[in-house]
């Protein structure tokens, strides 16, 4: 199996992906995700789940949601998640666009010695949904229902 040494997907490939629903999810370079989130700036954060921080990624036309997973996630779990996301295609499920699995060596001190440690970054990219979190709507409805009963 021949593999590209580095993913060369560009911002315009990502835009094409966003507007063409027949395109299959591909690997994205970390540098592109850093570029569209302004270096994973806090100002771009749109939410936080149990295992990830979610950033808004800005394209020339359109937006995406970039989910940066915590680095305790095992590679096998990430792989399983990507496989599942690639199989789900439904109008009621947010569209999965691309993924990024980046590993870089970094010299770190361990027990008084320098060792080369693997620094892993795992990210998922989805279409951006502008109406906020579903839990606000559900909580709102439940609160209203409880008030009505009382």
Binding site, residues? Answer: 67
- At which residue do the structure tokens 């570029």 appear? 35
Would you call 120 exposed, middle or buried from its count of C-beta atoms within 10 A (0-12, 13-18, 19+)?
middle
Separation of first and last alpha carbons in the chain: 65
* Window contacting ligand ATP (CB under 6 A); options: 11-19, 30-38, 71-79, 125-133: 125-133
- Answer for which of 2, 22, 39, 50 binds ligand ATP (CB under 6 A) is 50
C-alpha count within 13 angstroms, C-beta hemisphere, residue 129: 14
* Window contacting ligand ATP (CB under 6 A); options: 26-34, 44-52, 98-106, 109-117: 44-52
- Answer for which of 14, 67, 68, 123 binds ligand ATP (CB under 6 A) is 67
Please list the residues that pair with 28 across neighbouring strands.
Answer: none
Binding site for ligand ATP (CB under 6 A): 46-52, 54, 65, 67, 94, 126, 128-129, 132-133
């Amino acid at each position: 199996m021949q593999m590209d040494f580095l993913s060369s997907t560009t911002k315009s490939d990502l835009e094409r992906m966003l507007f063409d629903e027949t395109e299959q999810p591909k690997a994205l370079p970390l540098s592109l995700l850093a570029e569209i989130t302004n270096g994973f700036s806090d100002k771009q954060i749109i939410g936080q789940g149990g295992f990830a921080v979610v950033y808004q990624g800005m394209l020339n036309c359109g937006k995406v949601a970039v989910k940066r997973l915590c680095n305790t996630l095992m590679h096998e779990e990430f792989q399983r998640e990507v496989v599942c996301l690639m199989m789900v295609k439904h109008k009621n499920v947010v569209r999965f666009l691309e993924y990024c699995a980046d590993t870089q060596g970094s010299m770190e001190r361990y027990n008084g010695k320098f060792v080369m440690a693997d620094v892993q970054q795992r990210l998922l990219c989805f279409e951006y949904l502008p109406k906020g979190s579903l839990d606000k709507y559900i909580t709102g409805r439940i609160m209203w229902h409880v008030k009505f009963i009382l």
